[in-house]
């Protein structure tokens, strides 16, 4: 479900664009409007807005994940606009930590235009003074750097990370921004890809009290994907990580229940991506067998839009049970989703149905028997009452309503 | 066959005893009827995927079910008039079961329209009507309470069926769930078996025999005069369309239902539109259902009080106005708290309107003609109930905001309430005038034999059941003053 909210950022889409997106969102929400459910979950997710234009290639993407108070790191990804013609991508993340965490990180922005699609991403880490926390870790307020004597940033459970999804080959620019309170020059800046230290291709810049470092990666194929980290300082290293990934595929979380001899449609979808190819694998256990390779009637692969794939299986049997994988192939790698299929026999619900039907028959029989029994009891006394009423009716000439006594008297007086 | 309208019932309503069991049975029947079409929407997503259709095509199943349930009213009324409530409800339960079980074997959407929509909808119609009718036969003094309790079945069943359906879906898939739901609907037969007919047949026969002996000559004359029109009226009382109170009720309700259901359906999307997450939005509906659940019997109790009961039509109009004002104020709601407040008040309004909805109809036409009346009312209400939500949806699409839809719905409902208020005020006044006239004419005709089928209880003799007889005058006089 999408809710509409105003965009924050350097570029705001126009009103017709908003309306278009809203209509699309509304139609979907209308469809689900009738269901009522109130499950209890601890992590509400807000996905705020996404508008997309294919011509102007303007994409604004807004995600805010607000965690319940007991998690330690809420992450806010604010904006990402992408334009394929202008090859403009601005991507910004601001991570604001919960009050008791020590390191709020703000990733701000970048825009750049070129002919090739260029993406720039930045993480900025600013240290902030923190109050004494329960663990007894003391912070030196005057220095303005987060110092937790017992816990270093690497050991803390709050990695400063950002996930970037890439579909097409592009030039990616990663920017880290760090504001130390000490001497700028004493801070050592390094970049790493995974564990491998990167020697070249990055710049370091110092402006005001802030240190900027920038690393450019030309992502052509899957070899350039992975996680890139920038490190500041020697002993107490501040680290920011960019995870370059292909888009994720959503299968179905809950297992699909089907019956023998039935048909079923398995669907895999990704939010806004255009894979080059989709393939399905079925497997019992560890063996992954591609489906649909010898084309037969049993499996039909189709897909209405490019971002989804459907596998229709007919004539289900017990062997068809298991987990199915849908593989999406991108230029920059592969991604997969899972769908679990369970095949039951018809007897399972039939038994429940028969149980309920038996209960109903029993109850109806019991109720009707009880009624006949009570009526039999009443009958002898009823006959007497009827006789009396009959006599009164003859006298009254009226439709008998409860108290015929006073009326009886009245009639007598009238008759007389 | 019950005697034609205008005569008091041959057997006074027990107002208790087995009547409360019948209220429980009506609770089940009404609960299934109203809640089932809304609760099955849980399955639609997977069915849509399997049958490769759009969501709106699937959503039509629910609408068809509701439409047939309302349109089947007259058929149900005819059958109830002829055979009584019990057999009709049991047949209804069997039909529902048949519909759902055959739906589980369907292979395309059209088959679903036929099995779920038509057959199951008809079965639900056979449940709703008789349940309402039999309350009128069992209760008079405590009828508003009985109505309120029975109508409370709808929110209770909705709040239990919705998560239960989700559980069934996760455990058995949609096919198995449909089969099991078919079994569950068989429980309507149990409800039906509890609906004992009020008058034991033996006593009516003896009374009829006596009546025949006395009014032999006049009866023979009357039998010759029965025309085709009157034959039809025996089964379904079309003469109700000349009944002033009935017409006011019908017109007011038609206007009201245009704007009544759309706010419920769009509450969750409206909340999501304001930026509220999915689960909190669903929670709003739960709040509404919860308040509704308790509002209905409570309002039934209030409507039963000595102060309100004689003026129950005004009470109904005010309840409708309250709901309308709620919708108007909802347009001002900005954040989650105000939406929760709206949901609470809306639940209250919705519950109070639903609680006295059929009670007011019974009050206007009397228990005798109620079965025909409710059939005719539901078939006419079918249109606004079905047209309302799509029209509201279109309004939202055009304006781009939910606010205007809520304002429009609120305005329509307030308009309906004003019309009902004015209409019923006029009706009450005219009835009072006619009552005075008839008292004067009756006093002058005191010496004539009391054979006539006119209301005999104008001269109130016994002080015991004053309410029953006094109101009997009102209701029968409303019936007679067509």
Q: What pLDDT score does B7 carry?
A: 37
Helix (H, G, I), strand (E, B) or coil at B198: coil
pLDDT at B370 over 60: yes
Given its phi and psi angles, is residue B38 left (phi above 0), alpha (psi -120 to 50 degrees) or beta? alpha
Convert the pLDDT of each residue in B28-62 to its tens digit.
Answer: 999 999 999 988 888 888 888 888 888 788 888 88
Confidence of residue A121 (pLDDT cuts 50, 70, 90): low
Q: How many CA atoms lie within 13 A of B17 on its CB side?
A: 6
Percent of chain B predicted with pLDDT > 70: 84
Structural domain tally of chain B?
2
Mean pLDDT for B365-377 is 89
Cross-chain Cβ contact B179/A4 below 8 Å: no
Confidence of residue A384 (pLDDT cuts 50, 70, 90): low
Q: Is position A46 within any domain?
A: no
Would an 8 Å CB–CB cutoff place A23 in contact with chain B?
A: yes
Contact partners, residue A148, CB within 8 Å, separation at least 6: A102, A137, A139, A156
Rounded CA gap, A273 and A295, in Å? 27
Q: Which of B172, B289, B396 sits opposite A348 (nearest CB)?
A: B172
Asked if residue A287 and residue A201 are part of one domain, the reply reads: no
In chain B, residues with a C-beta closer than 8 Å to the C-beta of A390 are 206, 210
Q: Show the domain range for A312.
A: 259-346
Here the tokens at position A88 are: 């403009």
Structural domain tally of chain A?
2
Confidence of residue B417 (pLDDT cuts 50, 70, 90): very high
pLDDT at A405 over 90: no
Would an 8 Å CB–CB cutoff place A235 in contact with chain B?
A: no
Cα Rg, chain A, nearest whole Å = 36
Q: Show the domain range for B100.
A: 14-198
Mean pLDDT across chain B: 84
Confidence of residue A203 (pLDDT cuts 50, 70, 90): confident
Q: Is position B215 within any domain?
A: no
Q: Which of B8, B190, B206 sits opposite A399 (nearest CB)?
A: B8
Q: Is B360 within 8 Å of B300 (Cβ atoms)?
A: no
Cross-chain Cβ contact B400/A19 below 8 Å: yes
Q: Measure in Å the smallest separation between the Cα of A343 and chain B Cα atoms.
A: 10
Cross-chain Cβ contact B59/A31 below 8 Å: yes
Q: What is the CATH number of the domain that holds A180?
A: 2.60.40.10
Contact partners, residue B335, CB within 8 Å, separation at least 6: B274
Given its phi and psi angles, is residue B115 left (phi above 0), alpha (psi -120 to 50 degrees) or beta? alpha
Q: Show the 3-state SS of A240-254.
A: EEEEEECCCCECCCC
Confidence of residue A28 (pLDDT cuts 50, 70, 90): very low
pLDDT at B114 over 90: yes
pLDDT at B10 over 60: no
More confident residue, A155 or B417: B417
Rounded CA gap, A316 and A297, in Å? 12
End residue of a domain, out of B198, B222, B246: B198
Q: Is B140 within 8 Å of B152 (Cβ atoms)?
A: no
Mean pLDDT for A132-149 is 32
Q: What pLDDT score does A72 carry?
A: 35
Q: Which of B62, B189, B456 sits opposite A364 (nearest CB)?
A: B189
Mean pLDDT across chain A: 63
Q: What pLDDT score does B32 carry?
A: 94
Q: What pLDDT score does A16 carry?
A: 47
Q: Is A229 within 8 Å of A240 (Cβ atoms)?
A: yes
Q: How much is the ipTM here? A: 0.79
If you average pLDDT over each of A380-389, B46-55, B163-172, which comes out highest? B163-172
Cross-chain Cβ contact B173/A257 below 8 Å: yes
pLDDT at A250 over 50: yes
End residue of a domain, out of B136, B169, B198: B198
Confidence of residue B455 (pLDDT cuts 50, 70, 90): very low
Neighbours of B407 (CB within 10 A): 19
pLDDT at A105 over 60: no
Confidence of residue B299 (pLDDT cuts 50, 70, 90): very high
Cross-chain Cβ contact A399/B277 below 8 Å: no
B positions 328-357 inside 8 Å of A (CB): none
By C-alpha distance, which of B255, B247, B124, B256 is closest to B191?
B124
Rounded CA gap, A259 and B361, in Å? 48
Comparing A66-80, A140-154, B225-239, B327-341, which segment has the lowest mean pLDDT? A140-154
More confident residue, B146 or A67: B146
Q: What pLDDT score does A285 carry?
A: 64
Q: Is B147 within 8 Å of B91 (Cβ atoms)?
A: no
Q: How far is CA B11 from CA A12, A408, B204, B332, in A?
A: 74, 18, 9, 53
Q: Is position A17 within any domain?
A: no
pLDDT at A122 over 70: no
Rounded CA gap, A47 and A77, in Å? 10
Nearest CA in chain B to A313: B50
Here the tokens at position A246 are: 């292909």
Rounded CA gap, B292 and B280, in Å? 18
End residue of a domain, out of B181, B198, B215: B198
Q: Is position A237 within any domain?
A: yes
Q: What pLDDT score does A124 carry?
A: 61
Nearest CA in chain A to B393: A30
Q: Is position A340 within any domain?
A: yes
Contact partners, residue A240, CB within 8 Å, separation at least 6: A105, A107, A123, A125, A160, A161, A162, A176, A229, A230
pLDDT at A92 over 70: no
Q: What pLDDT score does B270 carry?
A: 86
More confident residue, A297 or A258: A258
Q: Is position A140 within any domain?
A: no
Q: What pLDDT score does B188 carry?
A: 94
Q: What pLDDT score does A120 carry?
A: 61
Rounded CA gap, A402 and B14, in Å? 11
pLDDT at B109 over 80: yes
Q: Which of A4, A23, A29, A36 to mutate to test the interface with B (most CBs of B within 10 A)?
A: A36
Q: What pLDDT score does B216 carry?
A: 54
Q: What pLDDT score does B213 carry?
A: 53
Comparing A409-413, B249-253, B324-328, which segment has the lowest mean pLDDT? A409-413
More confident residue, A113 or B347: B347
Asked if residue A263 and residue A241 are part of one domain, the reply reads: no
Given its phi and psi angles, is residue B478 left (phi above 0), alpha (psi -120 to 50 degrees) or beta? alpha
Q: What pLDDT score does B279 carry?
A: 81
Q: Is position B124 within any domain?
A: yes
Q: What pLDDT score does B132 carry?
A: 93
By C-alpha distance, which of B211, B2, B469 is closest to A397?
B211
Q: Measure in Å the smallest separation between the Cα of A372 and chain B Cα atoms.
A: 11
Q: At what angle do helices B336-399 and A15-31 cross, to 10 degrees?
A: 110
More confident residue, A399 or B110: B110
Rounded CA gap, B119 and B113, in Å? 9
Q: At what angle do helices B143-151 and B121-138 cross, to 10 degrees?
A: 160
Cα Rg, chain B, nearest whole Å = 23
Asked if residue B240 and residue B111 are part of one domain, the reply reads: no
Nearest CA in chain B to A312: B50
Comparing A25-34, A72-81, A234-243, which segment has the lowest mean pLDDT? A72-81
Asked if residue B260 and residue B177 are part of one domain, the reply reads: no
Cross-chain Cβ contact A36/B200 below 8 Å: no
Q: What is the CATH number of the domain that holds B356?
A: 1.20.1250.20
Confidence of residue A177 (pLDDT cuts 50, 70, 90): confident
Indicate the Cα dihedral angle A333, A338, A339, A341, nearest 10°. 120
What are the phi and psi torsion angles at A266 (to 5°)? -100, 135
Asked if residue B247 and residue B134 are part of one domain, the reply reads: no
Cross-chain Cβ contact B285/A394 below 8 Å: no
Q: What pLDDT score does B152 carry?
A: 95
More confident residue, A341 or A81: A341
pLDDT at A397 over 50: no
Asked if residue A237 and residue A263 are part of one domain, the reply reads: no
pLDDT at B456 over 60: no
End residue of a domain, out of A346, A362, A385: A346
Q: Are strands A118-126 and A170-179 parallel, antiparallel or unpaired?
A: parallel
Q: What pLDDT score does A387 carry?
A: 52
Q: What pLDDT score does B332 carry?
A: 86
In chain A, residues with a C-beta closer than 8 Å to the C-beta of B275 are 3-5, 46, 48
Comparing B36-45, B56-65, B357-366, B473-482, which segment has the lowest mean pLDDT? B473-482
End residue of a domain, out of A346, A364, A385: A346
Q: Measure in Å the smallest separation between the Cα of A250 and chain B Cα atoms.
A: 15
pLDDT at B117 over 60: yes
Q: Is B58 within 8 Å of B47 (Cβ atoms)?
A: yes
Q: Is position A67 within any domain?
A: no
Confidence of residue A408 (pLDDT cuts 50, 70, 90): very low
pLDDT at A401 over 50: no
Asked if residue B373 and residue B325 are part of one domain, the reply reads: yes
Asked if residue B322 and residue B258 are part of one domain, the reply reads: yes
More confident residue, B38 or A64: B38
Given its phi and psi angles, is residue B454 left (phi above 0), alpha (psi -120 to 50 degrees) or beta? beta
Q: Measure in Å the smallest separation between the Cα of A288 and chain B Cα atoms.
A: 25
Rounded CA gap, A288 and A310, in Å? 18
Convert the pLDDT of each residue in B434-452 to its tens digit.
Answer: 999 999 998 888 765 555 4
End residue of a domain, out of A306, A322, A346: A346
Q: Is position A324 within any domain?
A: yes
Q: Is position A177 within any domain?
A: yes
Contact partners, residue B251, CB within 8 Å, separation at least 6: B419, B423
Asked if residue A241 and residue A151 are part of one domain, the reply reads: yes
Rounded CA gap, B482 and B478, in Å? 7
Cross-chain Cβ contact B461/A403 below 8 Å: yes
Question: Exposed, middle or buried: residue A376 (CB in 10 Å: 0-12, 13-18, 19+)?
Answer: exposed
Asked if residue B267 and residue B151 are part of one domain, the reply reads: no
More confident residue, A194 or B75: B75
Q: What pLDDT score does A350 carry?
A: 94
Chain centroid offset of residue B119 CA: 20
Would an 8 Å CB–CB cutoff place B82 in contact with chain A?
A: no
Q: What pLDDT score does A217 carry?
A: 84
Q: Is position B374 within any domain?
A: yes
pLDDT at B316 over 80: yes
Would an 8 Å CB–CB cutoff place B286 in contact with chain A?
A: yes
pLDDT at B424 over 90: yes
Comparing A341-345, B20-24, B199-203, which segment has the lowest mean pLDDT? B199-203
Asked if residue B241 and residue B162 are part of one domain, the reply reads: no
Asked if residue B113 and residue B166 are part of one domain, the reply reads: yes
More confident residue, A29 or B123: B123
Q: What pLDDT score does B473 carry?
A: 42
More confident residue, B119 or A174: B119
């Amino acid at each position: 479900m999408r809710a509409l909210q105003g965009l924050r950022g350097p570029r705001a889409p126009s009103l017709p664009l908003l309306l278009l997106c809203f209509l699309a969102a509304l139609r979907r929400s209308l469809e689900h409007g009738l269901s009522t459910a109130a499950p209890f979950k601890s992590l509400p997710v807000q996905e705020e807005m996404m508008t997309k234009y294919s011509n102007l290639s303007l994409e604004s993407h807004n995600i805010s994940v607000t965690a319940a108070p007991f998690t330690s790191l809420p992450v806010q990804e604010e904006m990402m606009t992408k334009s394929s013609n202008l090859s403009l991508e601005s991507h910004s993340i601001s991570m604001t930590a919960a009050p008791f965490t020590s390191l709020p990180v703000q990733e701000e922005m970048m825009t750049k235009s070129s002919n090739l699609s260029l993406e720039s991403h930045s993480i900025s880490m600013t240290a902030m003074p923190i109050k004494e926390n329960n663990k007894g870790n003391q912070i030196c307020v005057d220095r303005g750097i987060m110092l937790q004597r017992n816990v270093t940033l690497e050991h803390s459970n709050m990695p400063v990370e950002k996930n970037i999804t890439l579909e097409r080959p592009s030039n990616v620019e990663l920017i880290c921004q760090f504001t130390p309170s000490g001497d700028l020059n004493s801070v050592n800046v390094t970049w790493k890809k995974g564990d491998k230290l990167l020697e070249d291709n990055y710049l370091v810049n110092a402006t005001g009290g802030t240190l900027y470092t920038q690393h450019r990666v030309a992502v052509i194929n899957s070899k350039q994907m992975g996680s890139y980290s920038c490190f500041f300082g020697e002993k107490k290293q501040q680290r920011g990580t960019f995870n370059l990934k292909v888009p994720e595929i959503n299968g179905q979380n809950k297992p699909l229940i089907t019956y023998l001899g039935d048909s079923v449609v398995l669907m895999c979808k990704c939010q806004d991506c255009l894979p080059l190819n989709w393939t399905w694998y079925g497997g019992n256990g560890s063996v992954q067998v591609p489906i649909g390779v010898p084309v037969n009637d049993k499996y039909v692969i189709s897909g209405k839009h490019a971002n989804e794939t459907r596998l229709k299986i007919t004539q289900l049997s017990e062997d068809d049970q298991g987990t199915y994988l849908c593989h999406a192939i991108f230029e920059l790698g592969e991604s997969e989703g899972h769908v679990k299929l369970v095949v039951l026999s018809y007897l399972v619900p039939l038994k429940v149905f028969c149980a309920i039907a038996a209960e109903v028959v029993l109850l109806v029989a019991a109720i009707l028997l009880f009624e006949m029994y009570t009526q039999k009891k009443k009958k002898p006394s009823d006959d007497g009452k009827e006789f009396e009423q009959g006599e009164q009716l003859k006298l009254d000439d009226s439709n008998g309503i409860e108290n015929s006594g006073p009326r009886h008297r009245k009639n007598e007086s009238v008759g007389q | 066959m019950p005697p034609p309208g205008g005569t008091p019932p041959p057997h006074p309503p027990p107002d208790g005893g087995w009547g409360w069991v019948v209220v429980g049975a009506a609770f089940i029947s009404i609960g299934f009827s109203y809640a089932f079409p809304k609760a099955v929407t849980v399955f639609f997503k997977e069915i849509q995927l399997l049958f490769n259709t759009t969501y709106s095509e699937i959503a039509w199943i629910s609408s068809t079910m509701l439409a047939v349930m309302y349109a089947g009213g007259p058929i149900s009324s005819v059958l109830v008039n002829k055979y009584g409530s019990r057999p009709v409800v049991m047949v209804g339960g069997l039909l529902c079961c048949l519909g759902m079980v055959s739906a589980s074997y369907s292979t395309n959407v059209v088959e679903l329209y036929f099995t779920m929509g038509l057959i199951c909808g008809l079965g639900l119609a056979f449940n709703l009507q008789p349940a309402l009718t039999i309350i009128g036969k069992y209760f008079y003094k405590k009828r508003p309470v009985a109505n309120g309790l029975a109508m409370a079945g709808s929110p209770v069943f909705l709040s239990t069926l919705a998560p239960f359906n989700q559980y069934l879906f996760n455990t058995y898939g949609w096919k198995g769930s449909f089969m099991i739901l078919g079994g569950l609907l068989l429980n309507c037969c149990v409800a039906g078996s509890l609906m004992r007919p009020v008058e034991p047949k033996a006593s009516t026969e003896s009374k009829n025999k006596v009546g025949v002996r006395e009014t032999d000559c006049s009866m023979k004359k009357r039998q010759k005069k029965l025309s085709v029109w009157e034959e039809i009226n025996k089964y379904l009382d079309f003469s109700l369309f000349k009944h002033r109170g009935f017409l006011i009720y019908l017109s007011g309700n038609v206007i009201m239902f245009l704007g009544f259901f759309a706010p419920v359906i769009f509450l969750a999307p409206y909340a999501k539109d304001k930026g509220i997450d999915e689960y909190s939005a669903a929670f709003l509906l739960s709040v509404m259902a919860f308040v509704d659940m308790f509002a209905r019997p409570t309002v039934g109790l209030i409507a039963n009080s000595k102060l309100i009961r004689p003026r129950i039509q005004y009470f109904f109009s005010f309840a409708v106005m309250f709901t309308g004002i709620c919708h108007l104020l909802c347009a001002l709601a900005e954040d989650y708290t105000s939406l929760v407040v709206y949901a609470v008040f809306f639940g209250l309004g919705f519950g109070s309107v639903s609680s006295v909805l059929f009670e007011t109809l019974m009050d206007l036409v009397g228990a005798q003609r109620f079965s025909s009346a409710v059939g005719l009312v539901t078939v006419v209400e079918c249109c606004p109930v079905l047209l309302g939500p799509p029209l509201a949806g279109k309004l939202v699409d055009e304006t781009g905001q939910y606010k205007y839809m809520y304002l429009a719905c609120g305005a329509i409902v307030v308009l309906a309430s004003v019309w009902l208020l004015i209409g019923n005020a006029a009706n009450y006044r005219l009835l009072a005038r006619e009552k005075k006239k008839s008292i004067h004419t009756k006093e002058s005709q005191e010496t004539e034999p009391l054979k006539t089928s006119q209301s005999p209880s104008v001269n109130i003799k016994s002080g015991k059941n004053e309410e029953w007889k006094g109101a009997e005058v009102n209701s029968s006089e409303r019936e007679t003053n067509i």
